Amino acid sequence: MRRNLAPFILIGLMLTMPWAGVTETATQSSIEEPRWTAAEAAENWYQSQGAPGQSVEISVGSGLLWVQTGAIDPLAETAIIPKHLEANDDPFATGYLIMQLHLNDGLLAEKISGDVGANIVDTLPEDAWVLRLPSSTQARSDAIIQLADDERVRWVGAQQPAWRLDIELHQALGKLNLDLTLALDVDTSMLEDHLHRAGADFVHCDVYLCQVIGLDSTWLPALSRDHRILFIEGHDSIGHANNYARSISTIDATLNNHNGGLDGTGEVGALSDSGLDQDHGDFNNRIRGVYHNYGPDNSAADANSGHGTHVAGTMFGDGSGDSSTLGVAPNATFHFYQLEHDPSGQLARWGSLYDMFRDSHQKNAHVQSNSWGAQSSWGQYTSDSRSADSFLNDYDDFLVLFAAGNEGSQGAQSIAPPATAKNVLTVGASTTGRPGTASVGQVASFSSIGPTADGRIKPDLVAPGVQICSPRAEEAQNPAGWSCSSARHSGTTTPLYMSADGTSSATPVVGGAALLARQFLRTELSISNPDSALIKAVLINGARDMGTANVPNMDEGWGQLDLEESLYPHDGLIAKNIFYDTSQTLSPGLSYAYNYAIDGSYGIDVTLVWNDREGSSSATQSASRLVNDLDLVVTSPDGTTYKGNDFANGFSTTGGSKDSLNNVERVRLASGATGDWTISVAHSGGSQQGYALVISAVGNENPISDLAVFGGSIWASQLTPLENDYVLLRMAWVNQAPATTGSYEVVVEDITDGVVIWSGTRDALQGGASDSFSFQRQFTSTGIHTIRLTLDSNNNVTEMNDEVDGTNNNVLELDLNITAIGVRITPHMPDGSMPANSDDVEIARKQVLDPSTGVGVSWDLTLANEGTSDEEIVLVVTPVQLMEENGALQPTEDEWEKFA
C-alpha cells in the first residue's frame, strides 16, 4: 500500500447505539419447561438419506439484460449509452463479452464458453454470463462468430464500459472515492501503482478489491475500459451499526433444561470492530490475537466509544465481574480485527472482505460477527456484499454475521451493506422490555428494515438489542452507553459494564448462538466440521414469529432467535425430531427427494439454505442477485404441495409461485395430515449447488418406495412416423424414494387401438435408481395414437405416490401422430366420370390419336392428397416421348406441343 497524503480514513457508521440505562432482571416464566438431556435430545436428530428425485425444467428468463442503463431485450432494442462510455469494439480491447442463453443453465454456459477458449468471469441477469475471450484478436473474432452461430446462445454482444460503471457515476464530477471490483483471471498487480500515477490521494488493492480515494472523475472512462476491472462504484464509509438477551433468546433455557455444557468450548470465533480492551476480566485469557492489518492504525485499544469491547463481551464475556452480564459463548476463544482510527474515532477497513475472512479462517475461526455497515447505499448489493458471498461460497464451513443497521426510521430498504449479502446471516434488533423501553416481543424501532433492492428477505433474524449490558472498555474516552452494574475496573471508578442499544448489540447474541449450535453439532451429533449453511438453517428453522407482522416480513425476517427451539424443538412436553442433510450437490434440472412418516398435528417446519455463488457485479440494483435457483417443495399425504416461501398469515399456503430471489426457503405448517410426506429440493437454474436442509416434526424418515415417471419417460424415435413404419419406443422411470421396491409389473398400452403393446415383470429397484427398456412397434392405422406407460400396474408396491396414495406419478402418456404419404393423380374416363376400378383406370390413361382425323388429345385429371399431412405439389408435363417395346422412352421424330 502507498500513501501520497496523510492517511485517509475510510469512515463508517458503527451501527450506532441510541443508549439508555440498565434495569432489573427479567421475570421468569412459571410454565413448566420440558427437560431432557443433551444425549436424549441428540437421539431426536437424524441425518436424512433421501434419493434422487424427478428431473425438473430449467427456468427460462424474460430475455432481459439488467444492465446499469436499464433493463433491455438485446434482440428487440438498443441500449441508450452515453457516448463517452460506449465502445462496441470493447470485446477486442478488453476481452469482455456478454453471452446470453435461452435458459439459466450455468453448466451449459461453462461448456459453450470453454469450447471457444473463453472463461466466465461474472454473471448478469437474466440467463447471461460475462466472458473473457482468448487473448489474440483472431481468436476473439473466431470465438464471437462461433458463439453467435450457436443455436443454444440467444445473444452475444459487448459488455459496454457504461455497464461496468455504477449509474450514479455516469455524470460524476470532481474528486471521487471509489471501490473497484477486480477480475480474478488477469494480473492486477500493477493497478495500484497506475492509480497512484493517475493522481489518487490514497489507494489500497488486494486481488479482489481496490479502494481509491480522491481520484479525479476524468479518469472514469479509462477505468471503465480497463480489462482488469469488473465494476466501479462509489466507496461507502462504514460505521458502527446481556442477561435479558440470553433469556429472551432462550439461551438460558437451552442450558438449564437440556445442556449445561453448551458454552462454546472448543469453538473459535472472530469479530471485527473498533478495538478491544484486552485486559478486561471477562475475556480471561481467551483472546487469541488482536490484528490491525485491515485497519487504519496499529493500536489495539478501544479508545473512543468502547463499541468493540461491548459487542465482544456480548458474544464471549464470562461475566466474571458480574454474573448477570454473562455472554452467550463464555468459553469460546476468539480473535479480533481492529478497524478504528483512534485519533478520529472513525471506522475504516482496508482491503476486501474476502481477504479478511480468509485470514480469519486461516486462524481457525468458523463464525465471525461484524457489528458495522455502510453509511449509505442502503439496501444495495455492493462490492462488499459480493465479496462476502464469494468467500462464503468458497469456504462453506465459515459463517459470517452482519448487523442490519439502525436506520429503521428511514423505512423500507434501509439494510446497511454488507448485510445485504445473500450468504451472511443478517441480524436486526428486538426489544427487551427493560423499564422505560418498549415491551418485549417487538422489533426495535431503530432496527433497519428490508427488503434488499432486489427484493430479498432481510434481516434473516432478530435478537435482543435494547439496553444490552456488556463489558465496557476501561480506556474508552467517549463510552457509548451508561453504567449497568456496580462493578468497576480495578482501582478506578470506571464502570466495568455498560448498557447499549442497536443491531450492533443484537448481532453478537446471534453470533454466540451460532457458536453454541456449532458446538452442539460437533459434540452431540459428531459432525466434525459443520457447514455454515446448516448452522444458519438450524437457527432460522427454530426462530419464533413475533407476531406483530406474520413471518416472513421485512422487519424481523424469519423471526426472533430461539436457540431452544432450534436445537431442542418441542410441542409442549413432546420432543420433536430434527432431520437434516448437507450431503447433496445438485446440477440444474435435477432434484432430490426425502420421505417421512409424520404426525402432522404437531406442525412441520422445513428450512432450506444454500451458500449461493456471488451475484452479478454490474447488474442494476433491482435485478435479482440469485445465481443458483433451488426450490423447496413439500407434498402432503393427499398430494397438496407447498412451495418454499409461499406464505399467508405466517404459514405456508398453496397456489403461489416459486421463489426465484432468496437463498433461504421455508415451509411452515401449524398442523397437517398424518401420513407420508415428501420433501424435495429441485435445481431450476444456474450451476452446481450444495445445500443444507433442516426439518423439525414428530415422525421418522420413511423407508418407503416411490416409483415415478418423469417428462422423458416415454421416448419415441419418431413422433410423426409413417403408417406401417417401425418405431423404436423406450420406457424409463425412477425410484425416487430411499427404499428398494419388490418386483412389479409394467404395462405399455396403445390407448387408441385399445391394446397392450408390452407388459412384463421388473426386478426390485433400489432407492434412487432408474430402469428402462426399449422395443419396436409398427402402427397400421393413421391418426393420433396415445401411448400409456403404467408402473406397478397390479399395485404390488407400497408407494408414497400412486393411484392409492398421494399424487399418482406412475402413469405417463405420449401422443404419436401416425401419418401417410398419399398424393394421387387420376385421369377421368372419356365421358368425364372417375374410374370405378382398375380396368377403368387402364381405359382412362390411354387415348389414340389419328393424325388424319385430329390434331391433339387431352385428359381431365384429378389431383388428390390422400395422406395425413399437407403436401407441396409441383405439376410437371414432360415432352411427348416414344415408348419402345422394352419400355425405354425415346424422343419422337416429329414435333409435338404440350400445355397444361
3-state secondary structure 693-754: EEEEECEEECCCECEECCCCCEEECCCCCECCCEEEEEEEEEECCCCCCCCEEEEEEECCCC
The pLDDT value recorded for residue 240 is 77
The pLDDT value recorded for residue 40 is 74
CA distance 357 to 353: 6
Instruction: Cite the beta strand spans of 282-371 per DSSP E.
Output: 287-291, 333-338, 340-341, 346-347, 367-370
CATH of domain 65-163: 3.30.70.80
Q: Which of 313, 234, 243, 233 has its CA nearest to residue 273? A: 313
Percentage of the chain exceeding pLDDT 90: 70
Collapsing DSSP to helix, strand or coil, 10 comes out as coil
The pLDDT value recorded for residue 357 is 98
- Looking at the DSSP bridge assignments, the partners of residue 341 are 346
| Assigned CATH class of 707-818 | mainly beta
Peptide bond into 451 cis (omega under 30): yes
Percentage of the chain exceeding pLDDT 70: 95
Q: Which residues of the chain have pLDDT under 50?
A: 1-31
Q: Which of 121, 123, 139, 98 has its CA nearest to residue 185? A: 121
| Assigned CATH class of 577-701 | mainly beta
**Secondary structure string (H, E, C) spanning 816-881:** EEEECCCEEEEECCCCCCCCCCHHHHHHHCCCCCCCCCCCCCCCCEEEEECCCCCCCCCCCCCCCE
CA distance 248 to 541: 17
**CATH topology identical between 577-701 and 707-818:** no
Q: Give me the count of residues in the chain.
A: 900
Task: Report residue 702 as a C-alpha cell.
Answer: 420413511
Domain ranges of the chain: 65-163, 165-239, 577-701, 707-818
The pLDDT value recorded for residue 156 is 98
CA distance 446 to 419: 16
Q: Is 559 left (phi over 0), alpha (psi -120 to 50) or beta?
A: left
345-373 pLDDT, tens digit per residue, is: 888 899 999 999 999 999 999 999 999 99
φ and ψ at 232, to 5 degrees?
-125, 130
Q: Cβ of 118: how many Cβ atoms within 10 Å? A: 23
Task: Output the CA–CA distances (angstroms, integers) from residue 536 to 395, 397, 540, in the order listed.
Answer: 14, 11, 6
Classify domain 165-239 at the CATH topology level.
Answer: Alpha-Beta Plaits (3.30.70)
The pLDDT value recorded for residue 392 is 99
Look up the pTM and report it. Answer: 0.82
CA angle 457/461/463 to nearest 5° reads: 150
486-527 pLDDT, tens digit per residue, is: 999 999 999 999 999 999 999 999 999 999 999 999 999 999
The pLDDT value recorded for residue 296 is 85
